[in-house]
Structure 1
């Protein structure tokens, strides 16, 4: 039996807004109607779709069906625009993106996309570029900025460019921990920044540019924010690999210095987009390619390229 579009739209609104009353306000119906639609949909599919919260969150099945609903709405809006029935195509666009792109060049691309398609509304999920493809693989987003070059099943992978990272720290930190240079023993003592538990970029830089070591790992500060990560390095908390895009001013002013000049790590970024959704996401895809061309490095092989974790 086909799923009811109104019930699917209601499920998506509940998960997007985080509550039944806010979903009701968005849809212009009563809260009772929202509850009835969700109950009918759960009875039809035979499983719980929403954890009531607060906030209301989706079960795995609920999140998948809500994503399906938003995909249908986006494609329908584009089709209606093409036949002249709506002036501005739009809809909810869910994308997984790495934090460093979000903190540097990605918002410019979103703004350009909205200029050409003002009805688009963006719902972003932030994860490491080596793992953001999982969101797309599991059907929780329509597209992803990822380090995964091989197209996922049903997707196209478009090379965007290389994001360059530099190993940076404050001058005081370097003087304190590396008075005689970057020896393995000094690296084992010097605190290091990690974005999260999945972050291996710093370890790969040490292996490539200092030396692999069997010494105990150094103290590690987990800093799950690109801005805080850079601030931690600037204030002498630890060293870490920051995007060149975000630390140019600090390097020019001397607030940060490279631990070892001319030893960048470049991470290749790809736009993985569902082929089904590619027409609906065309304005975003076009703007991403334009901004990436201007902000990221081209495809020439760098000295040190970080593989996907």
Structure 2
């Protein structure tokens, strides 16, 4: 059993980026901090920190930091059940990572009932801002995060939530102006795409999969589907928009689709050991996606028919 005092010291050194600052935070001497770190490293038989500027955690150090954060969350959950009368706001704070596509469409409606029921406070980190959950300098413990990848990290597991569907859309005027000669190598190489920040590879994959195009393309990178759609509606670009976002806007009838929809799996990543409220959150997301899946094929059929 690892000494929680030693784990606390390691976490403090990593998160404050220094032995001296950790000593101030913990109310002990810098020498005591060094001794605790050496004791933990001796116990495990390997270094946990790279003594550089800034200080870096080794792979094992990062794993221990994540382990410590999970322990603290489980302890808070335990105290909430043992002494519910002493529970306060911080016991109900969860940090989650979300992609802009989910946040703009289905995620918030799925979270609202849980927030009402449990007085839940959320910290949502968006898209490229979502940190590596094991990052040494991250003070944020993610209870879970949404991605299109099923790759897990130490002590985590993923839950398949269903698929996200994307329609490649543009205005009729843009279609006539840029694609009058069809969707071919020449037109796609010159057509201006609107893409989500960090999703150049997704757009390139779509062009290859749905339109058999593997070349370069001009594009503007935007932070949200809303911003992408503003550019598209202005007749300046085409782009992949989540079907579920299109479902929520009233004036999308003026858009036409290019090619077939893109379908990507969506996963909820969470920890194997997690507090009850985090488990409830994952269950709520799964229920929302399952309900969505029952109507998804009807919506896609309607959009396809409208664009023909």
Do both proteins adopt the same fold according to a TM-score greater than 0.5, normalized to the shorter chain? yes
RMSD of aligned C-alpha atoms? 4.2
Q: Secondary structure at the match of 1:281?
A: helix
The question of whether the paired residues in 2 share the 8 Å contact of 1:230 and 1:242 is answered with yes
Go from structure 1 to structure 2 and tell me whether the alpha carbon gap of 1:268 and 1:137 turns closer, same or farther (over 3 Å shift). farther
Deviations 1:208-248 (A, max 9, x none): 332235xx512121223232122222222321111011123
Match of 1:111 in 2: 112
5+ residue gaps in structure 2?
39-48, 301-308
5+ residue gaps in structure 1?
21-31, 53-57, 303-309
Measure the CA separation in 1 of the matches of 2:172 and 2:270: 42
Question: 2:101 aligned with 1:100, yes or no?
Answer: yes
Question: 2:272 aligned with 1:275, yes or no?
Answer: yes
> Which deviates more from structure 2 when the two are superposed, residues 199-208 or residues 148-157?
148-157
Question: 2:262 aligned with 1:265, yes or no?
Answer: yes
Describe how 1:204-215 pairs up with structure 2 within 5 A: 204-213=205-214
- How many residue pairs align between the two structures? 275
The question of whether the paired residues in 1 share the 8 Å contact of 2:179 and 2:187 is answered with yes
Match of 2:225 in 1: 226
Measure the CA separation in 1 of the matches of 2:64 and 2:29: 12
Deviations 1:170-222 (A, max 9, x none): 22221210123222211111011222345322222222332235xx5121212
Please identify the structure whose Cα radius of gyration is greater.
2
Shift of residue 153 of structure 1?
4.2
Measure the CA separation in 1 of the matches of 2:162 and 2:252: 27
Measure the CA separation in 2 of the matches of 1:41 and 1:113: 41
Shift of residue 94 of structure 1?
2.8
Q: Secondary structure at the match of 1:200?
A: helix
Q: Secondary structure at the match of 2:200?
A: coil
Match of 1:289 in 2: 286
Shift of residue 98 of structure 1?
1.6
Measure the CA separation in 2 of the matches of 1:185 and 1:156: 44
Shift of residue 107 of structure 1?
1.8
The question of whether the paired residues in 2 share the 8 Å contact of 1:12 and 1:67 is answered with no
The question of whether the paired residues in 1 share the 8 Å contact of 2:14 and 2:57 is answered with no
Deviations 1:99-143 (A, max 9, x none): 211221112233232223225443425249xxx7x8346586332
Measure the CA separation in 2 of the matches of 1:83 and 1:36: 29
Q: Secondary structure at the match of 2:78?
A: helix
> Which deviates more from structure 2 when the two are superposed, residues 246-255 or residues 282-291?
246-255
The question of whether the paired residues in 2 share the 8 Å contact of 1:74 and 1:91 is answered with no
The question of whether the paired residues in 2 share the 8 Å contact of 1:117 and 1:283 is answered with no
- Normalised TM-score (structure 2): 0.69
Deviations 1:54-112 (A, max 9, x none): xxxx9667987775565333212221222244465724423222221122111223323
Measure the CA separation in 1 of the matches of 2:216 and 2:244: 28
